[in-house]
Amino acid sequence: MQKLYTFGKYLKKKFHTKVYKVPISIPGFTCPNIDGTSARGGCVFCENESFSPNLKEKEKIKLNLFSKENPLLEKQLESLEWQFKNTIPFLKKRFGAKKFIVYFQSFTNTYAPFDTLKALYEKALSFDDVIGISVGTRTDSITDETLTYLKDLSNTTEVWIEYGIQTSNDETYQKINRGHNFANVVETINKTKKLGLNVCGHLIYGLPGETRKDWEKTFNDTLALDIDSIKFHPMYVTKNTLLAKDYEEGRFTPISEKEYIDILVWSIKNLPDNISIQRMSAGIDNLLAPDWCKDKGIQMSHIIKALKENGIKV
């Protein structure tokens, strides 16, 4: 890639106006490696209720693929509408956004009964100026029924599925308590692509025990899956996580800014021109380390400078 191809540019070219994603968090959603289906405790970098009193006070009812009923649905639909309507005025004023994609972001947004997912997705698509949805999920937490339904939706609206790939190293998956392997990632993304759905893959550089060699392999293995878009994340440490404990006891050293920018620039230089980039930097509350992840604006200025120095137009 010689010229930075952002997701915003993709959307502007397709819809001829400024389109922004509206992040949504649905109460009652969880993950299979939090509720015990795949593992217990969640990924090592995710906030863990055993370390966080605040999490214990959140919604007691948690849904999964096997839930027979959903007493939270009305509350979820209300929360979805409230979040959307309270976010778009800011996006319109700050960025001049005209159209929107509802982004189901937090936790695993296909890990619930199909009727619940259908109601939430269709509610999101009913809002004024919404041109599509993007669904963040795990490759071990989406059914064929949901994939087929999203394929049908994609015939008339913009649909994206965002999979947390993170790495292609099975040893790392075990270290971070992921609850699945890379074979599952390959199987699910291949199935998704065969249906013609848009896929965004999330990668994390700096996971425990990994080196530059692992990051490059993950990048190349991900490209082989024919994804349409990509998000790059540095591995940072937040409070109330298993990784925080490892960091505080000296068992984990976060990736440096130089290491991250070097692998990021290499990745973008080797990225095919048709794959859009949705994220390149960190921006997180509750940060413990590294310090360079505190200010997203400063990060981006350093990243843009490095890209230009390497001949990539931004």
Beta carbons within 10 angstroms of residue 259's beta carbon: 16
Q: Which two tokens stand for residue 233?
A: 């994340």
pLDDT tens digits, one per residue of 267-283? 999 999 999 999 999 87
At 61, the amino acid letter reads: I
Residue range 110-125: mean pLDDT, rounded: 97
User: Of 228, 230, 203, 206, nearest to 218 (Cα)?
Assistant: 203
CB-neighbour burial class of residue 60 (10 A; exposed 0-12, middle 13-18, buried 19+): exposed
pLDDT tens digits, one per residue of 206-233? 999 999 999 999 999 999 999 999 999 9
According to DSSP, the β-strands at 130-137 and 229-234 are unpaired
Cα gap 220→29, rounded to integer Å: 32
Give the per-residue pLDDT at 55. Answer: 43
CB 271 within 8 A of CB 242: no
pLDDT of residue 58 exceeding 70, the answer is no
Whole-prediction pTM: 0.94
- Give the chain's mean pLDDT: 93
Say what percent of the chain tops pLDDT 70. 96
